[in-house]
């Protein structure tokens, strides 16, 4: 299948079955883009989600632009975005034109209450799956718990928490591994210097 | 020209609302004050109800709704395109640099901090979904009986679905469809 058409249809499916905020898209995204199409890895999806939360705009759209862009360049990003918003266009337009009191129908409310339960189960399942890939060391655990408390209880805006965590990751890696950000040549040089120093010491 | 105005108002919303669809809400209230003939506060209430009860990202649903109120079908398309344009531009730039420095240890170090933070934020969102899905906080506040806090039927459905997800490998869409039917049949 044409890759643009594939992107459009896949993201239209994701948009058409996402209920709630961007996080509700997580199970759909991992199923379609990681398991089925192998367009991205689980780590990449978490990266996109993180960046999507501290850049302007709707998280779902940001993630779609990312995946589409990775698969087929800027046009792919555009096509994936149009795909994810297409079901909204159709459904909301129909409702706005013909069924003004849509949300007040009893059958809609019952269906929605059921869907919310399914979304809850799906998101918990996705969190468990992605958790193993996202928290791989002690630093990850510290960041995860701290951000959870700061967001849920102190209500610090998500964008700040994401930015601070990035800085924290940088500092932590720097402290835990002195040579983390040096190029290979530099590392070799310092290794050699150290060896030479050792040789000199032995000579003495 | 109303469509150009609508596009730029929504372009601004897309550019300045950070953190997902609900973050656009304060901007929509501002819009209502600025252009009272576009939509009323009652329209906004209805917009939230409709956007929450239909599929699709909240922010996109709300943009389509407002656009429809202001300029019919083309209005809905124009408003949504305005909303997503800043995303497409910003993400295209970010993605470009991310690809360029993909193997840079600095980027990898930053990402190693972002991933657990991202997971934590999803967990926070999960807690609020849990509150909506399996707790009856309003009833509990009225009666004060702890047993009223938990919606037993919803919890049973959640457990069944969760166990099924771990055992049967079918598309998440099916769980949503099944849960909707269960909700209608058992009057959730």
CA A184, chain centre distance (Å): 30
Query: Are residues B186 and B101 located together in one domain of the fold?
Result: no
Report the distance separating Cα A13 and Cα A69, nearest Å: 18
Query: Are residues B92 and B184 located together in one domain of the fold?
Result: no
Q: How confident is residue B171, by pLDDT bands cut at 50, 70 and 90? A: confident
Which residues, 6+ apart, have CB-to-CB distance to B87 below 8 Å? A55, A56, A57, A58, A61, A62, A65, A81, B14
Give how far B94 is from chain A: nearest CA, Å: 9
pLDDT in tens, chain A (204 residues): 799 999 999 999 999 988 876 778 888 898 999 999 999 998 888 888 888 888 888 888 899 999 999 999 889 999 999 999 999 999 998 988 787 778 788 988 898 889 889 989 988 988 888 888 888 888 999 999 999 999 999 988 888 898 899 999 999 988 887 776 666 566 566 556 666 666 666 665
Packed helices B25-34 and B2-16: angle between N→C axes, nearest 10 degrees: 150
Q: What's the rounded mean pLDDT across residues B100-107?
A: 86
Note the pLDDT of residue A148.
94
Please judge whether B116 and A88 are an interchain contact, meaning their C-beta atoms are less than 8 angstroms apart: no
Closest by CA to B38, choosing from B85, B1, B2, B74, is B2
- For residue B172, list chain A residues with Cβ-Cβ distance below 8 A: 17, 27-28, 31, 122
Q: Tell me if B6 sits within 8 A of B78, measured CB to CB.
A: yes
For Cα atoms B153, B155, B161, give the angle at the middle one, nearest 5 degrees.
105
Query: Are residues B116 and B169 located together in one domain of the fold?
Result: no
Note the pLDDT of residue A194.
60
Enter the tokens of residue B58.
Answer: 């909240």
Q: Is the pLDDT of residue B53 over 60?
A: yes
Q: Structural domain of residue B180, as residue ranges?
A: 135-188
pTM: 0.82
Report the distance separating Cα B59 and Cα A170, nearest Å: 32
Note the pLDDT of residue A9.
95
Mean pLDDT value across chain B: 88
Query: Are residues B72 and B163 located together in one domain of the fold?
Result: no
Enter the tokens of residue A153.
Answer: 């209880």
Number of domains within chain B: 2
Q: Which of residues 69-128 of B touch A (CB under 8 A)?
A: 69, 73, 76-77, 80, 83-84, 86-88, 90-92, 94-95, 98-99, 105-106, 108-127
Q: Where are the domains of chain A?
A: 1-134, 135-204
Query: Are residues B120 and B146 located together in one domain of the fold?
Result: no
Cβ-in-10-Å burial (0-12, 13-18, 19+) of B100 comes to exposed
Report the distance separating Cα A124 and Cα A5, nearest Å: 31
Query: Are residues B175 and B188 located together in one domain of the fold?
Result: yes
Note the pLDDT of residue A200.
62
Note the pLDDT of residue B82.
95
End position of a domain, from candidates B133, B152, B169: B133
Note the pLDDT of residue B18.
77
Please judge whether A85 and B158 are an interchain contact, meaning their C-beta atoms are less than 8 angstroms apart: no
Query: Are residues B155 and B174 located together in one domain of the fold?
Result: yes
Note the pLDDT of residue A187.
59
Q: How confident is residue B43, by pLDDT bands cut at 50, 70 and 90? A: confident
Q: What's the rounded mean pLDDT across residues B126-136?
A: 86
Q: Which has the minimum average pLDDT: A173-182, B139-148, B159-168?
A: A173-182
In percent, how much of chain B has pLDDT > 90? 36
Query: Are residues B28 and B52 located together in one domain of the fold?
Result: yes
DSSP state of A37: S
Note the pLDDT of residue A144.
94
Q: What's the rounded mean pLDDT across residues B95-123?
A: 88
Q: Tell me if A118 sits within 8 A of A49, measured CB to CB.
A: no
* Residue the block writes with tokens 């969190």: A127
Query: Are residues B48 and B103 located together in one domain of the fold?
Result: yes
Note the pLDDT of residue A143.
94
DSSP state of B18: B
Report the distance separating Cα B89 and Cα A149, nearest Å: 33
Query: Are residues B49 and B39 located together in one domain of the fold?
Result: yes
């Amino acid at each position: 299948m044409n890759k643009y058409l594939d992107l459009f249809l896949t993201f239209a499916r994701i948009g058409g079955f996402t209920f709630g905020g961007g996080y509700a898209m997580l199970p759909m995204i991992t199923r379609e883009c990681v398991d089925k199409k192998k367009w991205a890895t689980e780590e990449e999806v978490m990266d996109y989600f993180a960046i999507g939360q501290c850049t302007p705009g709707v998280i779902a759209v940001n993630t779609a632009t990312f995946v589409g862009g990775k698969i087929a360049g800027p046009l792919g990003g555009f096509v994936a975005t149009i795909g994810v918003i297409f079901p909204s266009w159709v459904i909301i337009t129909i409702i706005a034109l013909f069924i003004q009191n849509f949300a007040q129908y009893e059958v809609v409310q019952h269906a929605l209450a059921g869907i919310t339960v399914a979304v809850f189960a799906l998101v918990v399942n996705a969190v468990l799956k992605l958790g193993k890939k996202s928290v791989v060391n002690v630093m990850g655990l510290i960041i995860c718990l701290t951000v959870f408390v700061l967001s849920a209880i102190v209500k610090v805006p998500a964008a700040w928490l994401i930015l601070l965590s990035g800085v924290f990751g940088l500092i932590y890696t720097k402290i835990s591994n002195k040579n983390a950000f040096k190029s290979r040549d530099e590392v070799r040089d310092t290794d050699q210097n150290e060896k030479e120093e050792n040789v000199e010491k032995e000579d003495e | 020209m109303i469509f150009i105005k609508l596009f730029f108002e929504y372009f601004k919303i897309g550019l300045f609302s950070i953190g997902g669809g609900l973050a656009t809400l304060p901007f929509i209230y501002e819009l209502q004050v600025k252009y009272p003939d576009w939509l009323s506060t009652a329209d906004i209430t209805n917009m939230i109800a409709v956007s929450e009860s239909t599929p699709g990202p909240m922010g996109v649903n709300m943009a389509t709704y407002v656009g429809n109120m202001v300029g019919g079908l083309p209005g809905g398309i124009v408003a949504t395109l305005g909303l997503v344009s800043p995303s497409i531009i910003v993400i295209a730039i970010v993605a470009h640099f991310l690809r360029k420095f993909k193997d840079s240890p600095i980027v990898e170090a930053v990402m190693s901090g972002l991933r657990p933070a991202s997971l934590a934020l999803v967990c926070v969102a999960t807690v609020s979904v849990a509150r909506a899905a399996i707790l009856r906080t309003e009833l509990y506040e009225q009666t004060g009986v702890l047993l009223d806090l938990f919606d037993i039927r919803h919890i049973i459905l959640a457990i069944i679905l969760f166990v099924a997800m771990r055992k049967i490998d079918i598309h998440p869409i099916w769980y949503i469809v099944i849960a909707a039917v269960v909700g209608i049949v058992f009057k959730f």
